[in-house]
Structure 1
Amino acid sequence: MKLLYHFLVLSCIPLCINAQDSTKTATVVKKRIYTTKPLNGAEAPTIDGIIDEASWNLVEWTGDFVENEPDENTPPSQQTKFKIVYDQKYLYVAYRCYDNEPNKIEKRLSRRDGFAGDWVEINLDTYHDKRTGFSFTITAAGVKGDEFISRNGNNWDGSWNPIWYTATNIDDEGWTAEVKIPLSQVKFGKSKEQIWGLQVNRRFFRNEERSVWQRIPQDAPGWVSEFGELHGLIDIEPQKQLEIQPFGVIQFDTFPEEEGNPFRDGDEFKLNGGLDAKIGITNDLTLDLTVNPDFGQVEADPAAIALDGFQIFFREQRPFFVENKNIFDYRFANGQDNVFYSRRIGRSPQGSITELDGEFVDRPTNTTMLGAAKFSGKTKDGWSIGILESVTEREIAKIQDEDGNEREAVVEPLTNYFVARAQKDFNERNTYIGGIFTATNRNLGDAFEIDSDNPDTDETSELVGTRENNLYALRKSAYSGGLDFRHNWKDRKYYIEGNMVLSHVEGSKEAIEATQRELTHNFQRPDAGHVEVDPNRTSLTGTGGKITGGKSGGGRWRYNAGIFWRSPELELNDIGFLRQADEIRQFANVRYLFLKPTKFYRRANIFAEQFSTFDFDGNYNRIQYFIRGEINYMNNWWTEAGFGHKPRIFSNTILQGGPRWRFSEENFAFLFFGSDRRKKFNFTLGYDGSRAKQNNFSFNRYVVRLRYQPINALSISLNPQFRQNPNKTQYVTEVDFNGTPRYITANIDQQTLSASIRLNYNINPNLTIQYYGEPFISRGRYKDFNFVNNPVAEDLNERVTLYDQDQISFLDDVYSVDEDRNGIVDYTIDNPDFAFVQFRSNLVLRWEYIPGSEIFLVWSQGVTGSGDPGEHLFRSLNNQILDQQPENTFLIKATYRFVL
């Protein structure tokens, strides 16, 4: 209770400091209304970019745009106007974007959602919920952009790809555009007259200026909530969407041939096919189906290596899961922690295989998705609903010896994943409450049951036993549920929000013991007074949650404060993402905005943060202070800088099952600056780094980002990074010394070099060539081995004890330690030096030959190897990438979208 009291006091500091800001008079902006009219039998406009059809004369132009950025509420450099008409199937929009120098209109081509050059967009809040909307953008070059807006403009999801039609034209007055949006592609409720939120936003590229139809003050609490209104939509019928998209894939793989390995003979040919479908159950709610999905055109994940033992988070890129992902989002604490992490579905098989001498293994790289269904949408009554069901196949690895004898091992069981999410708006859309439920069930079957009375006996079928493939450690089932809410008041300027999560996992004694010992939980920590490993448990139940509140709009100040927690037993990683449990965190943030541009800058802000953490044993583990500033100059160059201080750093995980560990006091800072991103050549240079007391550890990262667009159709970017991570106490391993655990650390010199390369060439807005490649090299050399003496000592020299030359020797890639100097080796340490080298690339030709139907030609290439840690980074690049035969995948994928 005392701990909670301190949290609440610290969390209220920003609220008290800035209370005077709430007394200022809020800016009142009159809502604009545009009234459209139906075509009523008139001939529909021809979408050619030239606004000359008689049907456009049914309505008046509306204009009088006002500048939004950089100088809000001033006349824009160039005016804009638009018209809207409709029929029972389509909404039609005409734009006139004036420009007194039409020869300077920027017509840069890009891939879809590239938003390059001059553009104009319409935002439609069809539910009029003041939080979500649909955005349709058209550039002067004719490139489409479409996004689903959520969280009142704080999230723009470009994965949404509806079917719609557009064309542009440049004339003596500037440029024009015509747009035809099928009503089946947007969602709205059934009523006599629709009232939608409406905003039109234009980018005037030369001045990097935004102008809007409905004024939105810079201190507004959001974007969608400030829209004007579209009236006049009378008796339009909600359109039930029905789209079927079959696909076929031809794939040819080549890889280095391995002599004697029947599974690696040099090449492989595959044929595949499947089906995606989108069915409008109502106009509000859509059922998405996928059968045997293929994601061959998806860009490869960036390379990464983690020495701390934690899992690495990768963003979702598969189209089925990306679309409408905002509905399923349930970030309950901070960072990437989420109750639903779709990358768990189709993950690499989790079972390992024990190979015998002379055996070869054909192991699946990913788990096959047999099918998935997703029911999602939002009703006019304010219900957001999402239900996802997916089944992944049982995966079997094939093993064959030199004599041709074969056996099999299950490396992933048949698994069912289920997610249900709902939210309800009320209180004039100022409040919502919601909930989520997830379930993961694995069909482990008899082949995976362990005889608890005789644990040395594996009860197996014809497949390899459970202890050989480690599937006995998988949990049989996992469930989680949560409730969340948010309440806004005073025109959405103030808010309070919170959520709670409950998790429950079940499995064999072995599975639950393995869960307790995972780095996420660390129940085996010898100094933990609140948890311990119980080998007889068959389930775990934990909780997590957050409560925060603050000011999100009005005036120059923004602030929030709150607490979140994750109990030691919380487990979400069957279908969610949880990096670490057993933490309570208090946080407080404050931001000051410079809203009015000057002759020096266009916009700027300063941000300050403080947080502290505790574990459920009452240990005070960390406190951190951080301040950051950002400025965008009048010439559109920019600078970001920040500084932080960590006077107290304790970790329950750094020794990976060992006791609580103290790091030395740390300072960190970063500085990034860059040129005008509108220019055909622009750059970013940056540095971020940290230093710890007594030179315990340090971090240096040097960043260069170069982008060049020599012609409107071609853009090239190169992003090299170099990182240095020296650390005197990098964890190596745990060994036994006369019945006492010894935690070994060492001085590591780690260097990492990577360089992502992107090339986009647009033949036209619907035919693009995209290339992505990234070489990645990380090398670590260890020296000055030591063992942990007093893990929580403030002085580094008391924390660890270095081995002297009489205690440690190195031979045949093994360190031998005679700790007590009696001439007998007490324990050995495998050489931890490493050099990881990888190159991945994708070359994709994408042709949208008709709206919604595509052909992909893909060439993917990959090389992964281990270099010599003693060599220079660039020599490893040459030896392990340039001189190695890569693995190649060539595929052709064709889709056709039937709209019924």
Structure 2
Amino acid sequence: MKFYTLILLSLCFCTTKLCAQKLSSEKISKRVYSTKKLVKVPIIDGSIVEDAWDVVSWSSSFVEKAPDEGTAPTFQTKFKVMYDEKYLYIALRAFDDNPELIEKRLSRRDGFAGDRINVVIDSYHDKRTAFVFTTTAAGVKGEEIATGNGDNFDESWNPVWYTAANVDEKGWTAEMKIPFSQLRFGNSKEQIWGFNVIRNLFRTNERSLWQRIPNAQAGFISEAGELHGLVNLTSQKQLEIQPFVVLQYDSYPKEGKNPYRDGNDFKVNAGLDAKIGITNDLTLDLTINPDFGQVEADPGTIALDGFQIFFREQRPFFVENKNIFDFEFANGRDNLFYSRRIGRNPHRNPNLTDGEFADVPKNSTILGAAKFSGKTKNGWSVGVLESVTSNEFAEIKQTDGSKREEIVEPLTNYFVARAQKDFNERNSYIGGIFTATNRNLSGNFSELHKAAYTGGVDFRHTWHKRDFYLEGNTIMSHVMGSERAIENTQRSITRLFQRTDADHVNVNARRTSLTGTGGKINIGKQGGGNWRYNAGLFWRSPELELNDVGFLRQTDEVIQFAEINYLWQVPTNTYRDIRVSLEQVSNFDFQGNQNKMEYRLEGRVNWINNWSTNLGLGHNPLTYENAYLRGGPRWRFADKDFIYLYLNSDSTKKLSFTLGYVNRKTEENLNNLSKYVFRMNYQPFDAFSMSLNTELVKSIDKTQYVATKDFGSEKRYILGKINNQNWSTTLRLNYSLNPNFSVQFYGQPFISRGRYSDFSFVDNPTASSFNQRVRLYNQEQISFGANAKGAAAFLVDENSDNITDYSFKKPDFSFVQLQTNLVVRWEYIPGSELFFVWARGSSGSQDFNNSLTSSVQNQVFDVPANDTFLIKATYRFVR
């Protein structure tokens, strides 16, 4: 594998020299559209036939962005813009010589399917943030908030606005009516906004822009044209009130004498969300007794490494404007604010005696939450969030009918404040964040932090037409609590201060606080020419702790990284574009140990027929893990090589698919893996679509951690050979009667099965070969039977004296989960919705000797499922 990697690297750089492309470096002037105030109000029906539009002129001359940047598009597009005191009006004409080929695919809001036009409005004119309004040829609306100069698009934003589309003999037309109350802008006499219009010709996967942006140009929003002529706009302070009511009926298998699980429950919930425009650019969001139920459940997964699993936020109050509060300080998921901590499941389970049953809340009740957020004309981006969750009690009943309560979660206050300031003509910013978590422990919950605070500063600077950048951040955390709470923090898998070979950390059982730091520095080239590159490092000190209101997987790391990319951006008769990248990563701990070295070569080709290929190769000549033995010594993994290949068909066709394969081979065949991926999307007609995503992962790991046991004065870190298979299939069906009425089905069976054999214990954890790192138990040393408590377990007689020295339970497992839901959604007026939901699911253990398919069949057909029927109605009052 190493030999082939070197060959491919050589070919890559040779090809770069031979096939280097020269990209246009001409200066692109800013286009300007001057709007005017309307005289008559047009009817928004998608047909631009009224003379109300005659007060302004058309603008056209769109230029292709992809695949052949800088050329004339297949068909031209034109638009008009006008306004009155409350609304911005936009008319769009997309010419097409073959209107019968226009893709009018229906989907739910934000589906972004078929032919479409995006209108980009940078009303802040900060050249980094924009509101994007989309209309498809079928009249489906979509909207996004673009941040980071176009690096991030958040489609969770759902403003109230109006649009319609119509197909005719010349192509298709659309009209938009956007309330100024949904935008954010300053108080200038004449507004100057960033503005662009983007046309997507779906069947050829072609994009054309009103304001040309060359592919070599870094940035997207900063390069938009300008909208002039908005004079004397009056302040449109937004006021929206959205009450809701939810009726929910749950049906589930009755559980013996448990009075709380008698087979069914019915509950009613009601609350209110409000949005108040404090100024044109700052908004206050409020919620009282919010309904944070998720329509789509979290995907099934199992973490064999012991670390917590990140799940994306799906609750509307936290999803909207989440970009303002993000502070991703390192790589991956690490963030100072992880909103799923708010309203989490209780930390405790009640203590029950024989004959007692408990009704335990699934989530902490959010008594109220408020957000103040927005961006000012002078470049300040601000966000403040305050939320309080209540004391949670488990109600406990005995068989004689007596009741008592036991607290399982304390009253908790969460606070987040975020700010950024643009300067240097919007080419740079500096910002900061502060979070606070305070719990009212009332002499209880000694295992929890009483208070947790984090703070951070971040910056980004770009220069030379934004081609080059320097960015970084630094953070600090401080947690306080009882000696027990802080000792638990030191011993958690995120830190493991008790590691036997760690000289730089140790458990101090007398501590009542912990302070840590982290940060990142990154410099690189992001635009101009064909080369892109970056390098930097980030660190997390051993004492860092973010998990009260943030997300942190692991500490005690200093990671150095470097990446170089070459781009072929001028299409040929064979391909549309190509990207090849070479990456290098090394990892150290704060004791100075080097724990990782990795090299990776990746390439992506978008072929001229809209197919694409992704290929990646990698080599890890060195890998150690401090946390693998759960507090034991540093563990050495085998050297590994990996390869992956993905083939994607033309996504513009009614039927498209992805085939993927991942393979990992390790030294001595200690931890090999194969992954197979099949994804399919099919839209037989405009109103109906389906998608299927299937993944099968097979791995054999001879060094899977099982348990830690005492053997006299020594520790035994027990490993086993696991034959692990994971399979999941996700099916989605969507039927749209019209852009405002849809029926959706989601179903996902998931199974993870692990069977263990060949148990061993760690002898020399950093030795070069596997046989030196472990000692395998022989047949005389290990047997299967009953332990001292009568439970089935493996019994170990390590010194062969016919006395059991220690035991561990049989680790084999087969976990199966089924999740399905059927959702009918009707947006009966803009911003007001009615949901009918049926959710059905079950989870449990199956016989690990069964095949994957039979285990899933048993869980689906033999195990009683839980059913939820839900009706939710919302009504949005807008002023």
What TM-score do you get using the length of structure 1 for normalisation? 0.94
Take 2:695 and 2:150, find their aligned partners in 1: how far apart are those partners? 32
Offset, 1:26: 4.1
1:591 corresponds to 2:572:
no
* Equivalence for 2:691: 717
Aligned-partner residue type, residue 213 of structure 1: W
What is the identity percentage for the equivalent residue pairs of Structure 1 and Structure 2? 60
Equivalent AA in structure 1 for residue 151 of structure 2: N
Q: Matched residues in 1 for 2:810 and 2:402: separation?
A: 36
Aligned pair 1:855/2:834, yes or no? yes
Counterparts of 2:143 and 2:363 in 1: how far apart (Å)? 31
The one of 512, 523, 526 aligned to 1:549:
523
Are 1:215 and 2:212 an aligned pair? Answer: yes
Shift of 1:526: 0.7
* Number of residue pairs aligned between Structure 1 and Structure 2: 858
Q: Which residue identity lines up with residue 522 of structure 1 in the other structure?
A: L
Question: How far apart, CA to CA, are the structure 2 residues paired with 1:803 and 1:405?
Answer: 52
How far off its partner does 1:407 sit? Answer: 2.7
Report the CA distance between 1:822 and its aligned residue: 1.1
| Equivalent residue for 2:608, pick from 634, 644, 669 | 634
Tell whether the 8 Å contact from 1:341 to 1:576 is kept in structure 2 after alignment: yes
Within-5 A mapping of 1:304-315: 304-315=301-312
Offset at residue 104 of structure 1 (A): 1.3
- Letter aligned with residue 131 of structure 2: F
Match of 2:373 in 1: 376
The residue identity in structure 1 corresponding to 2:767 is A
Please name the residue that 1:8 is paired with. Answer: none
Q: Could you tell me whether the CA contact under 8 Å between 2:294 and 2:314 is conserved in 1?
A: no
Instruction: State the 1:880 CA deviation.
Output: 2.1
Once the two structures are superposed, residues 703-753 of structure 1 have per-residue CA deviations (whole angstroms, 9 ceiling, x without a partner) of: 101111111111111111111121101000100001211100000111111
- Contact preservation (8 Å) 1:27, 1:217: no
Alignment correspondent of 1:832: 811
Spell out the pairing of 1:414-813 with structure 2 (5 A cutoff).
Answer: 414-446=411-443, 448=444, 471-812=445-786, 813=792
Q: Which residue of 2 aligns with 1:27?
A: 26
Residue-by-residue CA offset, 1:464-487 (whole Å, 9 max, x unaligned): xxxxxxx32111110000000000
In 1, Cα distance between equivalents of 2:872 and 2:76: 44
Residues in 2 aligned to 1:352 and 1:478: alpha-carbon distance in whole angstroms:
23
State the distance in 2 between where 1:27 and 1:738 align: 76
Match of 1:454 in 2: none
- The two structures have a TM-score, normalised by structure 2, of 0.96
Partner SS, residue 721 of structure 2: strand
Aligned partners of 1:364, 1:779: CA distance in 2, in Å? Answer: 30
Take 1:526 and 1:400, find their aligned partners in 2: how far apart are those partners? Answer: 45
Cα contact 2:797–2:806 (8 A) shared by 1: yes
Counterpart position of 1:815: 794
Greater mean deviation of Cα atoms: 295-304 or 599-608: 295-304
Cα 1:583–1:278 change in 2 (3 A) is same
- Distance in 2 (CA, whole Å) between partners of 1:406 and 1:875 is 43
**Unaligned segments of structure 1, at least 5 residues:** 1-13, 449-470
Match of 1:200 in 2: 197
Aligned residues of 1:285 and 1:376 also touching (Cα < 8 A): yes
The answer as to whether partners of 1:837 and 1:881 remain within 8 angstroms in 2 is no
Report the alpha carbon displacement of residue 814 of structure 1 after superposing the two structures with TM.
0.6
Match of 1:465 in 2: none
Confirm whether residue 339 of structure 1 aligns to residue 336 of structure 2: yes
Cα distance in 1, alignment partners of residues 26 and 496 from structure 2: 52
Which of 175, 180, 183 matches 2:177?
180
Match of 1:725, SS? strand
**Is 1:94 equivalent to 2:97 in the alignment?**
no
**Could you tell me which residue of structure 1 aligns to residue 789 of structure 2?**
none
Alpha-carbon separation, structure 2, partners of 1:406 and 1:699:
52
CA deviations 1:182-207 (Å, max 9, x no partner) are 00001001101111111100011221
Query: Is the Cα–Cα contact under 8 Å of residues 298 and 318 in structure 1 kept in the other structure?
Result: no
Question: d(CA) in 1 for partners of 2:521 and 2:851?
Answer: 49
The alignment partner of 2:771 has SS state of helix
CA distance in 2, matches of 1:436, 1:847: 39
Equivalent position SS for 1:513: helix
Q: Which amino acid counterpart does residue 51 of structure 1 have in structure 2?
A: I
Partner residue, 1:879: 858
Counterpart contact for 1:667–1:691, Cα < 8 Å = yes
Asked whether the equivalents of residues 124 and 197 of structure 1 are also in contact (C-alpha less than 8 Å), the reply is yes
2:43 maps to amino acid:
T
Q: Deviations over 1:528-548 (max 9, x none)?
A: 000000000000000000011
Q: Deviations along 1:67-86, whole A, 9 cap, x unmatched?
A: 11000001100000000001
**1:318 is aligned to 2:297:** no
* Structure 1 residues 871 and 25, CA gap change in structure 2 (3 angstroms): closer
Letter in 1 for 2:343: G
- Please show how residues 395-410 of structure 1 align to structure 2 within 5 Å: 395-410=392-407
**Preserved CA contact (<8 Å) 2:298 2:311:** yes
**Is contact 1:188-1:238 (8 Å) kept?**
no
* Structure-1 separation of matches of 2:694 and 2:204: 30
Residue identity opposite 1:523 in structure 2: F
Secondary structure of the corresponding residue to residue 351 of structure 1: coil
CA contact (8 A) 1:274 1:291 kept: yes
Compared with structure 1, are the counterparts of its residues 202 and 25 closer, same or farther at alpha carbon in structure 2 (3 Å cutoff)?
A: closer
2:117 counterpart residue number: 120
Provide the rounded CA distance (Å) in 1 between the counterparts of 2:849 and 2:352: 30
Deviation readout 1:554-598 (Å, 9 max, x if unpaired): 111111100100000000000000000100011001111111001
1:364 to 361, 366, 389: 361
**How far off its partner does 1:765 sit?**
0.2
Matches of 2:325 and 2:817, distance apart in 1? 33
Shift of 1:355: 2.8
User: Is the Cα–Cα contact under 8 Å of residues 297 and 858 in structure 1 kept in the other structure?
Assistant: no
Query: Is 1:270 aligned to 2:244, yes or no?
Result: no
The answer to whether structure 1 residue 890 and structure 2 residue 869 are counterparts is yes
Aligned to 2:821: 842
Match of 1:394 in 2: 391
Matches within 5 A, 1:117-156: 117-156=114-153
Contact 2:294 2:315 in 1 (8 A): no
Q: 1:345, CA displacement in angstroms?
A: 0.5
Provide closer, same or farther for how the CA distance between residues 179 and 25 of structure 1 changes in structure 2, counting only shifts above 3 A: closer
Residue 400 of structure 1 deviates from its aligned partner by 2.2
In structure 2, distance between residues paired with 1:559 and 1:409: 57
Q: Deviations over 1:87-118 (max 9, x none)?
A: 11000000111011111111110111111111
- Deviation (angstroms), 1:297: 4.9
SS in 2 for 1:95: strand
Q: CA deviation at 1:352?
A: 2.6
Aligned counterparts, 1:52-131, within 5 A: 52-131=49-128
Contact in 2 for aligned 1:297/1:844 (Cα 8 Å): no
The alpha carbon displacement at 1:637 in A equals 1.0
Asked whether the 8 Å contact 1:372–1:390 carries over to 2, the reply is: yes
Query: Which whole-Å CA distance do the structure 2 matches of 1:835 and 1:404 have between them?
Result: 37
2:348·2:408 contact (CA, 8 Å) conserved in 1? Answer: yes
Q: Distance in 2 between matches of 1:348 and 1:630?
A: 42
Residues in 2 aligned to 1:707 and 1:75: alpha-carbon distance in whole angstroms = 31
Q: CA deviation at 1:167?
A: 1.0
Structure 2 gaps, min length 5: 1-12, 787-791
Deviation of the 1:879 alpha carbon: 1.8
By how many angstroms is 1:887 displaced? 0.8
SS in 2 for 1:343: helix
SS at match of 1:211: strand
**RMSD of equivalent CA atoms:** 1.5
Q: Structure 1 residue 24: deviation in Å? A: 9.7
Distance (whole Å) between structure 1 residues aligned to residue 30 and residue 40 of structure 2: 32
Structure 1 residue runs of 4 or more that deviate by more than 6 Å after TM superposition: none
Instruction: For 1:687 and 1:410, locate their aligned partners in 2 and report how far apart those are by CA, in whole Å.
Output: 49
Deviation at 1:298, TM superposition (A): 2.7
